Amino acid sequence: MSIIISILSASWQVFYESAVYMLFGFFIAGILYVFIKPETVGRYLGKGRVRPVFLAALAGIPIPLCSCGVIPAAAGLKRQGANNGATMSFLISTPESGIDSIPLTFALLDPIIALIRPVAAFITAIVTGLFENVLLPSKSSSDNIPEVVCSGSGGCCSSSSETQTELVEKPFIAKIVSGLKFAFVDLLGDIGKWFLLGIILAGIITYMIPDSLFESYLSNNFTAMIVMLVAGIPMYVCATASTPIAAALVLKGLNPGAALVFLLVGPATNIASISMISGLFGKKSLLIYLCSIAICSVVLGFFTDMLYYGMGISATATVGQAADIIPHYIQLSSAVILAALIIFALCRGMPHAVHFFSLSGKTRG
């Protein structure tokens, strides 16, 4: 029983420190949902080898979608005429970063990783997209593109039924309300369970893994990066859920470069997305996709370690310190609000719960 209490205590500490940043991230995600239209993005991603890749990578950085949820969005861009390189660039930058995960990274890790993470995602996306367009040039076409629909099992695919056309016709205040509903109900319901899983895993890691593990067995930075690379490729973990896991590993002594490798590879790849990418682009493109992510993540991991070493900063000493700038009462209030929103969003997505509440209402009536 004491073990469970210790794990829950460690998990609560992570949740407590991250709540205010999560709320801010979801608020921004709701605003982006209202004012950034997917069809507008697709209009600029068809012609050329370089410009569409650059624009696709840039567009994907703030969008809060995971490696499963981004597949239908990318397939939609491809149907609108985006070339393979641009589509693949969007497939990488979108799940590796997000407006919800960036402030969370700032809270649980430090400002350096919070800045490096979206930049690294942007670089990886551009490199992969350019390789795809140069090595396997193809004409953009919307023909013969398989229908890819994320089932929502193991993914963070929004279930919002409101279309962009319906949003355009609404007044400004109604648009904002719709955006907040999307963020704090639909999107939070999609990724809330994965965020909680990441929080619990962070608590388990904090309690179970001895502080000397990485010093004893993974003291070599390159070896640690390879281990994180191999562990991250098949694992399903969205950008938000990967952050507390990486923070817990860094607290135990993992070098920041290896943590960055996990933050890049984990959200961008998993067994489900790999199979879908193979069907959407082909096996050669899948090979380019995986090799580019692996090489870029390791190279950028080395750069991150050199940056920390050159600045004389210990990543272990700075983990979670950014959260100290927020007053205690705001952190506690945010944690309570976020917990209530997650419970509401998750219960709303359960058919049995909805049926139960509807029956209760009829009974009272």
Residues 69-92 pLDDT 10s: 676 667 667 766 778 898 899 889
Overall average pLDDT of the 107-115 stretch: 87
Q: Which of 148, 170, 150 minimizes the C-alpha distance to 158?
A: 150
Which amino acid is it at 91? L
Q: Which amino acid is at 43?
A: R
What is residue 220's predicted lDDT score, i.e. its pLDDT? 85
Question: For residues 7 and 129, which has the higher predicted lDDT (pLDDT)?
Answer: 129
Tokens of 278: 């193979």
Answer yes or no: is 46 within a domain: yes
Q: How many domains does the chain have?
A: 1
Distances (CA, A) of 76 to 34, 35, 45, 80, 98: 18, 18, 12, 6, 19
pLDDT of 148:
45
Are 323 and 18 a contacting pair, CB within 8 Å?
yes
In a domain, 236, yes or no: yes
Examine residue 341 and state whether it is found in any structural domain, yes or no.
yes
Q: Residues 231-248: what's their mean pLDDT? A: 81
Q: What average pLDDT does this structure show over 101-108?
A: 84
Cβ atoms within 10 Å, residue 159: 14
In a domain, 209, yes or no: yes
Between these two residues, 303 and 51, which has the higher pLDDT value? 303
H helix and E strand count, the chain: 19, 0
Tell whether the model's pLDDT for residue 296 goes beyond 70. yes
365 falls within a domain: no
**52 touches 85 (CB < 8 A):** yes
Would you state the pLDDT for residue 140? 45
Whether residue 109 lies inside any domain: the answer is: yes
pLDDT of residue 79: 67
Of 1 and 354, more confident: 1
C-alpha R_g of the chain:
21
Q: How many CB atoms lie within 10 A of CB 11?
A: 22
pTM attached to this predicted model: 0.72
Tens-digit pLDDT profile for residues 117-170: 999 999 999 999 999 999 987 654 444 444 444 444 444 454 454 555 566 667
Q: How confident is the model at residue 45 (pLDDT cuts 50, 70, 90)?
A: low
Structural domain boundaries, residue 348: 2-360
Instruction: Please indicate, yes or no, if residue 238 is contained in any of the structural domains.
Output: yes
How far apart CA 62 and CA 30 sit, in angstroms, is 11
Give me the pLDDT at residue 359, please: 47
